[in-house]
A and B are shown apart, each in its own frame.
Chain A
Amino acid sequence: MARILDVGCGPTKYPGSVGLDMNPNTAADVLCHLDKGGLPFRDNSFDFVRAEHVIEHVADIIATMEEFHRVTRPGGTIFLATPHYTDYSSFRDPTHRWHLNTYSFLYFYPGGMHGRDMWYTKVRVKEVRNYVSLLRLWRALGFEFLVNHSRMFRQFWEHYLSFVIRGKLMEFTFEVIK
């Protein structure tokens, strides 16, 4: 059976997972504050680590990704969901420290930015899926399909269009490389 960790699980924990949260008024099995020490698990403990609407809150994204990477087995999966920085939800919560886009995790890819590895962390993941959803109007007009259809169109959208045709939610699936 897959070992699943749901970080920041809130009141609705992912079925069959170990739930982790800092807030005791949730479905958490383990109470822990991500910014105060790491995750209370051994290396390679999980096949699948998911963190929905967590990464935009943490004090240190690199340190947090290193912890997610550490507790996930080689070849395991990390799933993140977080607002795109052009969505109003990115600015609706006074505890959102970071405003991110679809390139924010290039940092952890082999050959990271412009073909060069970033040297601030040794953690590496492979992008399996990167999906950005848009607001209803733009989806109805076919922009969500286009933006996710090709890398080039997504880049064009990020550079030229995203303040008008605004993003909403980003979903990243990474494969852990060790």
Chain B
Amino acid sequence: MALILDIGCGRKKYPGSIGVDMSPAGQADVLCDWTKTLPFVDSSFDQVRMIHIIEEVDDIFRMLGEAHRVAKPGARVVIMTPHYTDHASYCSPAHRWHLSSFSLWFFSDQPKEYDYYAPAQYRERKVRVELLRVWRALGFQFLINRSRPLRKFWEQYLSFVIRGKTVEWELEVVK
């Protein structure tokens, strides 16, 4: 059976996963400060989920380093976070970072001097942007997710008008 880790699981833990959180109020199986270290041995999980948490942590690279450590080689890390043009990015005073669909490019493009900041290696398998209902109905969401150049054009020129909602990544752990 695939072992799945849901970091910051809250009240809606991913079905069949091991939930980690700081608060006992949710469905967590393990209580700990997951922003620092994860209490698991190396290469334990087939999938690691981080749903709406990276925008709140002090150090995103440290979190992704820990997720990389506890994930098996080839495992998938699923990340969701608000796009910086969505109102949700500004709704919570706990949101430290405002991110775009290119915010994790360090990990996949791996320019040499950045190894210092982000030593964990990932391969970007999927990036998907979700838009508000009106834009989705008009076909913009389909277009943006069709190719990287289209997504980049949208990020550079259009995203303050045709605003983003959520960004979702699927990263493959490279060890």
Q: Give residues in A with beta carbon < 8 Å to B.
A: 10-11, 23-26, 86-88, 91-97, 99, 135, 137, 163-164, 166
Contact = CB atoms under 8 A, between A and B. Distances in A.
Nearest to A165: B157
Given A88-B102, A92-B102, A99-B98, A166 B115 contact: no
Contacts of A11: 112-113
A50 B161 CA distance: 35
Contacts of B105: 92
Given A11-B113, A25-B113, A135-B156, A88 B161 contact: no
Contacts of A95: 60-61, 117
A94 B97 CA distance: 7
A96 B97 CA distance: 8
Interface residues of B, number: 26
Name A's interface SS: loop
B166 to A, nearest CB: 14
Interface of B: 54, 60-61, 84, 96-100, 102-106, 112-113, 115-117, 152, 155-157, 159-161
Contacts of A25: 112-113, 115-116
B103 A91 contact: yes
Nearest to B159: A88
B98 A91 contact: yes
B160 A164 contact: yes
Nearest to A135: B156
Contacts of B102: 88, 91-92
A92 B113 contact: no
- List the 10 closest A-B pairs by CB distance, nearest first: A163-B160, A91-B100, A94-B60, A88-B155, A23-B116, A92-B102, A91-B84, A25-B113, A94-B103, A88-B156
Contact of B103 (A92, A97, A99, A166): A92
Given A91-B100, A91-B103, A94-B104, A135 B157 contact: yes
Given A11-B112, A25-B113, 17 more contacts: A23-B117, A25-B112, A25-B116, A86-B160, A88-B156, A91-B100, A92-B102, A94-B60, A94-B61, A94-B97, A94-B104, A95-B61, A96-B97, A97-B96, A99-B98, A166-B156, A166-B160
